[in-house]
């Protein structure tokens, strides 16, 4: 299934077709494609080139995958357990250079994950990002140091059969994509004042 965005503004095809399905095939993702997807994340911009992101890679059939799956809330486990790859996204809270707090640590992880998700589309692979997981369980299971924070989990894989999803998930899987209007999120002068660019 393809769910391109409907926009009057022409944008690149990766952004047009990127979406977050829950119907994943259990077909393995080739290791070369996983390497390319993670390489794109590696080259994302970050404050002071700190690159605070870290990824714990779980490939189905390996213990790491089972541990990442255990961190997910039950609702996410129902569908994400079909994806062949689960990635726990972790980021460093302080600068390595001087130990001072890095105010951009989550922002920078977000940029890396955005690059990852677009490269996944470039490789013909879908991704779905989740905040529904236990940080505490992730810290415990993976012995994550105090200076790092787990932030989200990504399910990665090829598209599967949406009709195999539970009914509530199936409905959201096939409905049209929606976004707020640009003039509701882009302002000029004062916060909340619409710009005339649209």
Q: Give the closest residue to 58 by CA, choosing from 40, 81, 27.
A: 81
| Predicted pLDDT at 17 | 85
| Predicted pLDDT at 166 | 87
| Predicted pLDDT at 171 | 86
Domain 26-161: which CATH number of 3.40.50.300, 3.50.50.60, 3.30.420.280, 3.40.109.10: 3.40.109.10
Q: At 55, is the pLDDT very low, low, confident or very high (cuts 50, 70, 90)?
A: very high
| Predicted pLDDT at 174 | 86
The single-letter DSSP state of residue 81 is T
Q: Give the closest residue to 166 by CA, choosing from 74, 85, 67.
A: 74
Q: Is 168's pLDDT higher than 90? A: no
The pLDDT of 49-64, averaged and rounded, is 98
Q: Is 133's pLDDT higher than 80? A: yes
| Predicted pLDDT at 178 | 86
Tokens standing for residue 198: 């649209």
| Predicted pLDDT at 89 | 98
The pLDDT of 33-54, averaged and rounded, is 98
Quick: pLDDT tens for 12-43: 889 988 999 999 999 999 999 999 999 999 99
The H or E element spanning position 13 is helix 13-17
Quick: pLDDT tens for 65-104: 999 999 999 999 999 999 999 999 999 999 998 999 999 9
Do 80 and 69 form a contact (C-beta atoms < 8 A)? yes
């Amino acid at each position: 299934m393809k769910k391109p965005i409907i926009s009057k503004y022409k944008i690149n095809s990766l952004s047009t077709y990127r979406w977050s399905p829950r119907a994943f095939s259990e077909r393995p993702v080739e290791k070369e494609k996983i390497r390319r997807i993670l390489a794109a994340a590696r080259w994302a911009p970050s404050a002071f080139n700190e690159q605070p992101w870290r990824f714990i890679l779980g490939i189905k059939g390996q213990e790491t995958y089972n541990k990442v799956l255990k961190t997910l809330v039950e609702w996410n486990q129902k569908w994400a357990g079909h994806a062949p790859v689960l990635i726990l996204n972790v980021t460093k809270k302080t600068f390595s250079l001087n130990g001072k707090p890095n105010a951009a640590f989550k922002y920078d992880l977000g940029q890396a994950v955005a690059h990852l998700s677009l490269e996944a589309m470039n490789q013909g692979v879908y991704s779905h990002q989740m905040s529904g997981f236990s940080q505490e369980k992730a810290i415990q299971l993976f012995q994550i140091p105090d200076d790092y924070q787990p932030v989200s989990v990504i399910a990665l894989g090829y598209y599967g059969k949406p009709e195999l999803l539970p009914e509530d998930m199936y409905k959201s899987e096939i409905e049209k994509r929606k976004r707020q209007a640009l003039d509701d999120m882009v302002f000029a002068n004062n916060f909340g004042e619409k710009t005339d660019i649209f």
